[in-house]
Amino acid sequence: MGSRPLATPLWASLGVLGLLLVVAAGVGSVPIAAGEVVAAVGRGLWRAVAGPTAITTGLDAEATRVIDTIVWQIRLPRVALAALVGAALGLAGAGFQGVFRNPLADPYLLGAASGAGFAASLAMVSGGVFGLGALGVPLAAFVGAATTVALVVALARRGWSLPIVPLVLAGVVVGSCLAAGTSFVLLAAREQAAGVLTWLLGSLAFASWGRVGTLLPSVVVAGAVLIAAARSLDVLQLGERAAAQLGLRVEGLKLAVVAAGTLATAAAVSVAGVIGFVGLLVPHAVRLALGPDHRRLVPLSAVWGAGFMVLADLVARTVIAPAELPVGVVTALVGAPFFLLLLRRRVAP
């Protein structure tokens, strides 16, 4: 049974992730003592259980309200959203690298990012789609990402089979087309260009519990599908023909993994924009550290992805506060050297 080799690293990783979440919730541009943060978390939980009640604290009511707002409505949703986005991209990356049997595959390979970017920029320039207001851009991005991947799959399919090389090529071509479309939108609507660019670079600055809630179901579903497919992905690494001879329904697996990976990617992009490098880096890091077994790789990519994003976002919002680095810049700056280090360690001995 495969649970024994998974258990130790999984629990250890979850422990580290928990620690990272606590640290990230405790740090921000407004200095709040650790005890106050813990007290604010406690007050929020108490209110959730006992309803809105007055709670006496050492501070005056106004200061308490400010701390509660910062902890509960700014930091916690942001940290939770970072973790979920990281988990989604880690899952999608592990799934795509497994199904394409290619180490360069990442969640955006089939055009999810450019599709989301094009749809989101159109939505922003046209001032929210169909009066959906704040919901418009995330919804447009999600639909754009999912539609693009569906189009790519439709272009590449041969009957009921999904050959890998045409799929990747179609993804690259459709992606380039849509990226050009996004550039055109940017040029045409210069007034909104700054907003569109910020979104394209990826940001968790506008995190909210609402966004956490919209992302969570997609991550859970995608995670369940990919974890269930883990053993089949292991078999697939023998090659499509060998896997088929062993009784694997290769085409069904490919479709399921692409669909689950796309769901996770589209959901992540829709709430946080296009954040690069996470989906590429994290599965590699897990593979280099713990080996290529997908039953470990898939769940640990989710956990490590979550931890990596929380860390990257913490760096993004603190190093040059009150200004903020685009979190995608941090994932690349932190991720690339770390990745090279792992690679060298792997190659050297």
Partner 1 sequence: MIFTRSQLPSAMRRALLVAFACFGLAHAAWPVTVVDDLGRDVTLSAAPLRIVSLVPSHTETVCALAACGRLVGRDTWSDFPHEVRALPDVGTAFAPDLEAIVALRPDLVLVDEYSGAADALAPLGLVVYAGTPQRLDEVFGLIERFGRLLGAPTEAALLQGRLRGELDGVTAVVANRVGPTVFYEIDPSPYSVGPGGFIGTLIALAGGQNVVPAELGDFPLLDPEFVVAADPQVIVLADAPYGVDAASVAARPGWAGIAAVRGGRVVELTQEQSDVLSRPGPRMGEALQLLARILHPGAF
Chain-centroid distance of CA 155 in Å reads: 26
Told to check if 60 binds partner 1 by CB under 8 A, we report: no
Task: Tell the residue number behind the tokens 């599709």, with chain if given.
Answer: 115
The DSSP symbol for 161 reads B
Pick from 9, 147, 208, 288: which binds partner 1 (CB under 8 A)?
208
Rounded to whole angstroms, how far apart are CA atoms 101 and 118? 28
Nearer to partner 1, 185 or 303 (CB): 185
Rounded to whole angstroms, how far apart are CA atoms 70 and 72? 6
Told to check if 323 binds partner 1 by CB under 8 A, we report: yes
Pick from 198, 221, 251, 334: which binds partner 1 (CB under 8 A)?
198
Chain-centroid distance of CA 91 in Å reads: 8
CA angle (222 as vertex; 331, 212 as ends), nearest 5: 60
Told to check if 203 binds partner 1 by CB under 8 A, we report: yes
Told to check if 205 binds partner 1 by CB under 8 A, we report: yes
Rounded to whole angstroms, how far apart are CA atoms 49 and 40? 14
Nearer to partner 1, 82 or 225 (CB): 82
Task: Tell the residue number behind the tokens 């949703």, with chain if given.
Answer: 77
Size of the site for partner 1 (CB under 8 A): 31
Roughly how many angstroms between the first and final C-alpha of the chain, as a whole number? 31
Told to check if 70 binds partner 1 by CB under 8 A, we report: yes
The DSSP symbol for 73 reads I
Pick from 23, 66, 177, 238: which binds partner 1 (CB under 8 A)?
66
State in angstroms the smallest separation of the CB of 210 from partner 1. 8
Rounded to whole angstroms, how far apart are CA atoms 245 and 237? 13
Pick from 51, 58, 322, 349: which binds partner 1 (CB under 8 A)?
322
Q: Which helix (H) or strand (E) holds 259?
A: helix 250-272
Told to check if 190 binds partner 1 by CB under 8 A, we report: yes
Pick from 50, 154, 187, 347: which binds partner 1 (CB under 8 A)?
187
Pick from 134, 242, 319, 336: which binds partner 1 (CB under 8 A)?
134
In 3-state terms the chain splits into helix, strand, coil percentages (rounded to 5) of: 80, 0, 20
State in angstroms the smallest separation of the CB of 234 from partner 1. 42
Give CA separation, 211 vs 78, 80, 115, 214, 319, in Å: 9, 10, 20, 5, 25
Pick from 62, 165, 241, 344: which binds partner 1 (CB under 8 A)?
62
Told to check if 74 binds partner 1 by CB under 8 A, we report: yes
User: Contact letters (x/-) for partner 1, 94-133, by CB under 8 A?
Assistant: ------------------------------x--------x
Cis peptide before 349 (omega within 30 of 0): no
Pick from 75, 287, 294, 296: which binds partner 1 (CB under 8 A)?
75
Told to check if 192 binds partner 1 by CB under 8 A, we report: yes
**Could you give the angle at which helices 136-156 and 250-272 cross, rounded to 10 degrees?**
150
Give the interface with partner 1 as residue ranges (CB under 8 A): 28-30, 62, 66, 69-70, 73-75, 124, 133-134, 137, 187-188, 190-192, 194-195, 198, 203, 205-206, 208, 317, 321-324
